Amino acid sequence: MATRIEVTGLTAYYGKFKAVSDVNLTIEPKNVTAFIGPSGCGKSTVLRTLNRMHEVLPGARVEGRVLLDGEDLYGAGMDPVNVRRTVGMVFQRPNPFPTMSIYENVIAGLKLNGIRKKALLDERVEESLRGANLWDEVKDRLNRPGAGLSGGQQQRLCIARAIAVEPQVLLMDEPCSALDPISTLAIEDLINKLKSSFTIVIVTHNMQQASRVSDATAFFSLEKTGDPGRLVEFDKTSKIFTNPSEKRTEDYVSGRFG
Amino acid sequence: MSTATVPEPTAPTADGEDRLNLRGAILPRFVPFAVAAGSVVVALLIYLLTPVDSEIQIVLMAALIFVVAMTAVSTSIEGSRRARDRFATTLVYGAFLLAVIPLVAVLASVIGKGAARLSPSFLTHSMNGIGARDSGGGIYHAIIGTVEQVLIASAIAVPFGLLVAIYLVEYGRGRISRTISFFVDVLTGLPSIIAGLFVLAFWILALGQGFSGFAGSLALVVLMIPTVVRSAEEMLKLVPNELREAGYALGVPKWRTILRVVVPTALPGIVTGVMLAVARVSGETAPVLLTVFGTNLINANPFSGEQSSLPLYIYSQAGQPQQFAIDRAWAAALVLIIIIMVLNLVARLFAGRSRLK
Amino acid sequence: MTTEPDSSAQSAEQRGAASATVPPTDGPDGDPTRGSTTGGPAPEPAALAPPPAAPAGKATIGKADVAFKNLTRAAGLGLLALIVAIALFLVLRATHALGQNDGNFLTTQEWFPNQDPPKFGVAALLFGTIVTAAIAMVIAVPVAVGIALFITVYAPRRLASPLGYIVDLLAAVPSVVYGLWGLLVLAPHMKGIQLWLSDYFGWIPLFRADSVGRSFFVAGVVLAIMILPIVAALSREVFLQVPTAHREAALALGATRWEMIRTAVLPYGKPGVISASMLGLGRAMGETIAVALVLPASFKISWNWLEPAGNTIAANVANGWGEANDIGRGALIASGLVLFIVTMIVNIIARAIVARRRDFSGSSA
C-alpha cells in the first residue's frame, strides 16, 4: 500500500481564472505532507487535482501531470472513478450522508464496488471504524444516523468511510477547521496512526497543526488577489518551520504575513 | 517559483501495466452518437420492411434500439457500472426530451391558435347575443369576473393566511400548531372541486345565497390560504433571530417587533408567494364553475347574480363543437396564460429584490 | 470570509443560505432554519419606535401583545374550523341525498339521482378517479424526477437556470388550458399509439380493446402532462438543496454520476419528491376540467383502459352539475366527500412515509 505522488507542471483553472500555476512537487509514500499558505493561494485546488475532484466543478480544468506511482492520472484511458477510489478524500466539513446510518455510511463506497456479502461488510466496518478510532464510541449504535454524532465523531466517520475502500492515498482538506480543539487532537492522533498505511496529504490553515502532524510541508502563496497561486517552498517540515530558504516562507510561518 | 527539491521521477511502469487499477476502458465520445445514428437507420429499415402506423413509432423504436445497443456496447467494453451510468444518463435525457415535446406543444398550440383569433374587439366585448355558431364575441365580461373574484379572494385569504403563518412561526408551539400545520398540508392537497362543492353546500344550498362572483371568491379563498400560509411561513422562518432579539432588547413588545421588523423584512418573499397564489387561483375552473355559474353578459357586481370568468369561459367554449367557439377558447386561453405569466414574472421581480432569498 | 474559490464547504454554505428551506444537517433539536447564519445582512432595527417611557404604558403593551397573539391564534383555529366546516357541510348535504338512495352508494356503478327512486353510486367514478390518477402518476413521476435530475445534475450550468425557469412557468399554466389541448390536439394524436398498444399488448387484459378512443389512457396522459411541471419544479427545488458536500463525498468515494445520484441526491430528496408527487396525485385526482373534456362520461367499471369509457368523481361533478336537481346535487356532494376522504388518506400516508425515517431525513420537509 501507499503510493508516491509526483506533480509536474501542474496548472489549474476555474473557467478563465488561473487558480494555481506550475506546481512541481513529490509526495513520499507513507508520509504526511502538509499544504499551508494564505487564503486563495490554491492549496485546496492542488489537493483536489490529486484525485481529479477539481474537474467536478463546472468549467474547472487542469494542465500538467500528476503521477501516481508513475501513472499519469490525467493520461489517456484513465478513469476518474477509479482514480478517486484509489485516492480517497476527507472534506473540510464533516459530510456523512444524512440519510444513512453509521454502518451504511462506512460501507457506502464498498457497495458501489459491488461488495454485498454481509460478513465481509461487517468485518470491513469494524476494521475501518477501528482504523478511524471511532469503533468504541459507536459500536453499540451502528444503525443510528451518522448525522447524529458530534462534529469530531462525524469527521472520523468520514475518515472511516474513506479508508473503507482501501485507497492508497488519503487527501484531507482542512479536516479540523470545523472542529473544537479536543476533536482536532483526536484527528491529529488518527493522522499519525494512519500514515503507517496511507500516503496522506493535508491542507491546513493552522501552522501548529502542520508542524505537529506533517513530515514535509509545501508553502503556497500568491502575489496579490487575482494572481494565480504558486508553490513557494517545499521541504521537510522541520526545515520549513525552523530554517526556510525563502524569505516569504519565513514571514508566513513566523506570523509576520498572512 | 518552486524551489522544491524535485527528485528523479520514478520510472513509468511498463506500458499497459496498471498496478493501481486506475485505467478504465471508456468509450470514445463519438460512440453514443454513432450508436444513435445506427439506431435510427435500423428503425427506418424496420419501418420500410413492416410499415407501422405513425412516425411516433419510428422514434420510439429508434429510442428503444439505442438504449439496448448502447447498454450492450457499454457493458461489454466499459463494464456494468459504467453501463448503468450511461443507461441512467440516457433515461434522464430521454425523460427530458419526452417531456419537452408535449409541454412545448401546449404552449405552441395556445400561442399559435390563440394569436390568430385575438383582437382588440375580443378583449372589449362580451358574449351578449352571440351564439356558438357566431364568429364574434369576446371575453370582456370574463376578464371583469376573474379580476373581481381574484381580488376579493386575495383580500380575504392574504391577511388570514399571513396571521396563520405568524402564529405558526412566532407563537405556535405544541399540539395545536402541529395540527394546524398538518391541516395546511391537507388543504394544499385539496382538490379544487371540493372547494367549489363546499361553497356550494355551505353558501348556496345551506345559506340560500345565489350564485355570484363572491361565492366564487369564497371557493378561491379556500385554495389560496394554504399557499399563502406556506410561503409566508417559509419567509418568516428565514428572518434572523437577532432581529427579533434586537427588538425585544430595546423593550419593544413582541407584536410590534413582528409587525414592524419581522414582517417587513420578509415582505418581498411574502409578496412573491402571494403573487404565485394569485396566479394559481386565476386559472382555477372547477370551483368557479359550481359557484359563479357563468353568463354571457357583463356583470360588474360580484355580490349579486351570475358572473363569468376566464377559465370558465374557456371550458364552456371548448365544450362546443363549432370551430368559432373553439377559436374563442384558444384565444381566451392565450389571454389567461399571458395574465398568469405576467403575475409570475412580477413575483420573480419581488423575489429578486428580497434580501432574504 | 475567505476569497478562496475552491472551498467546497463555503459554497455549500452559500447555497444553503440561498434556499428557503435549509434542511438541518446536524443538531436535531431546535429550529435551525431560524438560525442566525441563514439570513442575509440584517437591517438595523432603527425603524423601531423607542418604548414608551411612561410606566402606565406597560400594562397596555402587555394587553396588546396578548390581543395580537390571540388574533393570530384565532386565525390558526379558524383554519381548523374551515376544515371542519368543509367536512361538515359536505356530510350534511350528502346525507339527505344518500337517505333517498335506492342503491348502495359505495358499490353501485349507475348514476341516476334524478329518477324516482334515485339510484346512484360512486363505485365506477372512484374507480375511474383512481385509474386515471394512477396512470398519470406512473407516467409523470419518473419523467418529472428525470427532468429535475437533468436540470440539477446533467444540464450544462448555462442551460440549467433558464430551464428551471421554464418548468416553473409551465407549472403555472392552468389545468383548463391543458384540458383544452388534450381534447383538441392530443386526443386525435393518441389513436395511433393506442392501436399499437392494443395490437401488440392486447394479450394483457388492460390493453385489450375493440375500439380505441377517448379512454382512461388518454385522460391519464393528459393528467400526466398536467402534473408533470409541478412535480418536476418541486423536485428540482429539492435536488438543488442537496449540499455540494454530499455530492462530492460520493464522487470522492469513486462513484459514477449515477451512483452519486443514488447515494447522495435521491435519498436526500426522497421526502421532497414524495411530497411533490402527493401534490401531483391530489391534483390528478381532483382535476375536473381536463378529464371532463376528455372522458366520454360512462358509468361502468371498465378494465379495458384503451376503450372509450369511464368517468371520474370530479369530472362527473362538472358534467352532471347543470342538470342536477336537489337529490342530484346532494349525490354529487356525496361523491365529492368520497374524493375528499381519499385525498386526506393519501396525504396522511405520504406524511407517514416522510416521517418514518425522520432521523435519517436530510430534508426538513
* DSSP class per residue in C123-187: HHHHHHHHHHHHHHHHHHHHHHHHHHHIIIIIS-HHHHHHHHHHHHHHHHS-HHHHHHHIIIIIH
Q: What are chain C's partners, defined as 3 or more CB pairs within 8 angstroms? A: A, B
Residue-wise DSSP of A138-153: HGGGTTSBGGGS-HHH
pLDDT digits (tens, 9 = 90+) for C285-329: 888 888 888 888 888 888 888 888 888 999 999 888 878 888 888
Q: Are B161 and B229 in contact (CB under 8 A)?
A: yes
Is C30 domain-assigned? yes
Q: Is B141 exposed, middle or buried (0-12, 13-18, 19+ CB in 10 A)?
A: buried
The confidence score (pLDDT) of residue B220 equals: 95
The confidence score (pLDDT) of residue B269 equals: 84
Nearest to C13 by CA among C236, C237, C238, C243: C243
Is C180 domain-assigned? yes
Q: What is the length of chain C?
A: 365
Say whether A112 and C9 touch across the interface (CB within 8 A).
no
For residue A203, the distance in angstroms to the closest alpha carbon of chain B comes to 17
Q: Are B214 and C310 in contact (CB under 8 A)?
A: no
Asked whether the predicted pLDDT for residue B247 surpasses 60, the reply is yes
Q: How far apart are CA B157 and CA B163, in angstroms?
A: 10
Of A174-188, B196-210, C189-203, C323-337, the range with the lowest mean pLDDT is C189-203
Is the domain of C162 the same as that of C262? yes
Nearest to C94 by CA among C349, C339, C357: C339
**pLDDT confidence bin for B9, thresholds 50/70/90:** very low
- Written as one letter, the residue type at B62 is A
**In what side-by-side order are the strands of the sheet with A87-90?**
A87-90, A169-173, A199-203, A32-36, A216-221, A230-236
Pairing of strands A71-72, A17-27: unpaired
Cβ count near C354 (within 10 Å): 18
Q: Are B200 and C329 in contact (CB under 8 A)?
A: yes
Closest Cα in chain C to A161: C253
The confidence score (pLDDT) of residue A2 equals: 61
The confidence score (pLDDT) of residue B135 equals: 81
Q: Residue B11 in 3-state DSSP?
A: coil
**pLDDT confidence bin for C358, thresholds 50/70/90:** low
Which residue, C56, C91, C126, sits at the end of a domain?
A: C91
Chain B environment of C272 (Cβ under 8 Å):
none
Nearest to A83 among B4, B13, B22 (CB): B22
For residue C289, the distance in angstroms to the closest alpha carbon of chain B comes to 7
Q: How far apart are CA C208 and CA C14, in angstroms?
A: 55
| pTM for this prediction | 0.82
* Best A13, A91, A144 residue to mutate vs chain C (most C CBs within 10 Å): A91
Query: Could you tell me where the DSSP H helices lie in chain C?
Result: 8-18, 56-100, 123-149, 157-172, 175-181, 187-201, 216-240, 244-252, 257-260, 266-286, 289-294, 313-320, 326-356
Asked whether the predicted pLDDT for residue C146 surpasses 90, the reply is yes
Find all residues with CB under 8 Å of B36, minimum gap 6, and list them.
B62, B66
C28 touches A at CB < 8 Å? yes
Is the domain of C57 the same as that of C203? no
Q: How far apart are CA C120 and CA C113, in angstroms?
A: 6
Is the domain of C167 the same as that of C25? no
Q: How far apart are CA A199 and CA B20, in angstroms?
A: 14
Nearest to C347 among B189, B253, B336 (CB): B189
Is the domain of C241 the same as that of C138? yes
Highest mean pLDDT pick, A195-209, B199-213, B255-269, B335-349: A195-209
Pairing of strands A169-173, A60-68: unpaired
Q: What average pLDDT score do residues C166-170 get?
A: 83
**Which run of H or E residues covers position A233?**
strand A230-236
Q: What average pLDDT score do residues C337-344 get?
A: 90
Asked whether the predicted pLDDT for residue C19 surpasses 70, the reply is no
CB-facing half-sphere around the CA of A102: CA atoms within 13 A: 25
Asked whether the predicted pLDDT for residue B268 surpasses 50, the reply is yes
Q: How much of chain C exceeds pLDDT 90, in percent? A: 25
Q: What average pLDDT score do residues C198-204 get?
A: 82
Query: Could you tell me where the DSSP H helices lie in B203-322?
Result: 213-238, 241-249, 254-257, 263-282, 286-291, 310-318
Is C312 domain-assigned? yes
**pLDDT confidence bin for B356, thresholds 50/70/90:** low
Q: Are B2 and A25 in contact (CB under 8 A)?
A: yes
Q: What is the length of chain B?
A: 357
pLDDT digits (tens, 9 = 90+) for A26-52: 999 999 999 999 888 889 999 999 999
**Which run of H or E residues covers position A63?**
strand A60-68
**Which run of H or E residues covers position B56?**
helix B55-78
Q: What average pLDDT score do residues C254-272 get?
A: 91
CB-facing half-sphere around the CA of B47: CA atoms within 13 A: 16
Q: What average pLDDT score do residues B131-152 get?
A: 88
Q: Residue A21 in 3-state DSSP?
A: strand
Say whether A230 and B9 touch across the interface (CB within 8 A).
no
Is the domain of C86 the same as that of C126? no
How many CB pairs (< 8 A) connect B and C?
333
Asked whether the predicted pLDDT for residue B214 surpasses 60, the reply is yes
Which residue, C29, C56, C91, sits at the end of a domain?
A: C91
- Which residues 130-169 of C have a C-beta within 8 angstroms of B? 142-147, 149-150, 153-154, 168-169
Asked whether the predicted pLDDT for residue C365 surpasses 60, the reply is no
For residue A178, the distance in angstroms to the closest alpha carbon of chain C comes to 10
Is the domain of C52 the same as that of C122? no
Sign of the C-alpha dihedral computed for residues A112, A114, A117 and A122 taken in this order:
negative
Is the domain of C201 the same as that of C140? yes
Q: Is A58 exposed, middle or buried (0-12, 13-18, 19+ CB in 10 A)?
A: exposed
Query: Could you tell me where the DSSP H helices lie in B79-139?
Result: 80-117, 120-124
Find all residues with CB under 8 Å of C194, minimum gap 6, and list them.
C209, C212, C213, C215, C217, C218, C306
Is C46 domain-assigned? yes
How many domains does the structure of chain C reveal?
2
Q: How far apart are CA A218 and CA A2, in angstroms?
A: 20
The confidence score (pLDDT) of residue C59 equals: 52
Which residue in the block uniquely carries the three cell numbers 438595523?
C44
Per the structure, the complete domain to which residue C251 belongs is given by: 111-356
Higher pLDDT, B263 or B1: B263
Q: Residue C217 in 3-state DSSP?
A: helix
Average pLDDT, chain A: 90
Which residue, C91, C119, C152, sits at the end of a domain?
A: C91
**Which run of H or E residues covers position A19?**
strand A17-27
Q: Are B181 and B251 in contact (CB under 8 A)?
A: no
Asked whether the predicted pLDDT for residue A222 surpasses 90, the reply is no
Nearest to A44 among C7, C249, C253 (CB): C7
> Which string of b and e fits B20-46 if b means at least 16 CB within 10 Å?
bebbbebbeeebbeebbeebbeebeeb
Q: What are phi and psi of A90, to 5 degrees?
A: -120, 135
C228 touches B at CB < 8 Å? yes
Q: What average pLDDT score do residues C277-286 get?
A: 86
Is the domain of C61 the same as that of C195? no
C268 touches A at CB < 8 Å? yes
Average pLDDT, chain B: 84
Q: What average pLDDT score do residues A95-109 get?
A: 92
Q: What are phi and psi of A205, to 5 degrees?
A: -90, -15
Highest mean pLDDT pick, A114-118, B132-136, C186-190: A114-118
The confidence score (pLDDT) of residue C362 equals: 45
Q: Residue B252 in 3-state DSSP?
A: coil
For residue A213, the distance in angstroms to the closest alpha carbon of chain C comes to 22
Which residue in the block uniquely carries the three cell numbers 459500536?
A139
Is C224 domain-assigned? yes
For residue C308, the distance in angstroms to the closest alpha carbon of chain B comes to 18
Q: Is C204 exposed, middle or buried (0-12, 13-18, 19+ CB in 10 A)?
A: exposed
Chain C environment of B82 (Cβ under 8 Å):
256
- Written as one letter, the residue type at B168 is L
Closest Cα in chain B to C18: B357
The confidence score (pLDDT) of residue B280 equals: 86
Question: Which residue ranges form the domains of chain B, and what is each CATH number?
Answer: 30-116 (no CATH), 140-353 (1.10.3720.10)
The grid coordinates of residue A181 equal 480543539
Nearest to A233 by CA among A253, A213, A214: A253
Find all residues with CB under 8 Å of B101, minimum gap 6, and list them.
none
Q: How far apart are CA C365 and CA C361, in angstroms?
A: 9
Say whether B12 and A234 touch across the interface (CB within 8 A).
no
The confidence score (pLDDT) of residue B350 equals: 77
Say whether C172 and B340 touch across the interface (CB within 8 A).
yes
CATH number for C306: 1.10.3720.10
Find all residues with CB under 8 Å of C68, minimum gap 6, and list them.
B254, B255, B258, B259
Is C318 domain-assigned? yes
Q: How far apart are CA B17 and CA B14, in angstroms?
A: 6
Asked whether the predicted pLDDT for residue C22 surpasses 70, the reply is no
Nearest to A3 by CA among A31, A25, A23, A24: A31
Is the domain of C309 the same as that of C191? yes
For residue C353, the distance in angstroms to the closest alpha carbon of chain A comes to 14
Q: Tell me the β-bridge partners of A26.
A: A6
- Can the peptide bond before residue C308 be classed as cis, meaning omega within 30 degrees of 0? no
pLDDT digits (tens, 9 = 90+) for C65-112: 889 999 999 999 999 999 999 999 999 888 888 888 888 888 888 888
Is the domain of C15 the same as that of C135? no
Is C215 domain-assigned? yes
The confidence score (pLDDT) of residue C14 equals: 40
Is the domain of C181 the same as that of C63? no
Cβ count near A4 (within 10 Å): 20
Q: Are C104 and C287 in contact (CB under 8 A)?
A: no
Asked whether the predicted pLDDT for residue B12 surpasses 70, the reply is no
**pLDDT confidence bin for A171, thresholds 50/70/90:** very high
The grid coordinates of residue C15 equal 447555497
Asked whether the predicted pLDDT for residue C60 surpasses 70, the reply is no
Is the domain of C235 the same as that of C295? yes
Asked whether the predicted pLDDT for residue C41 surpasses 60, the reply is no
Find the helix packing angle between C216-240 and B80-117, rounded to 10°.
110
Is C306 domain-assigned? yes
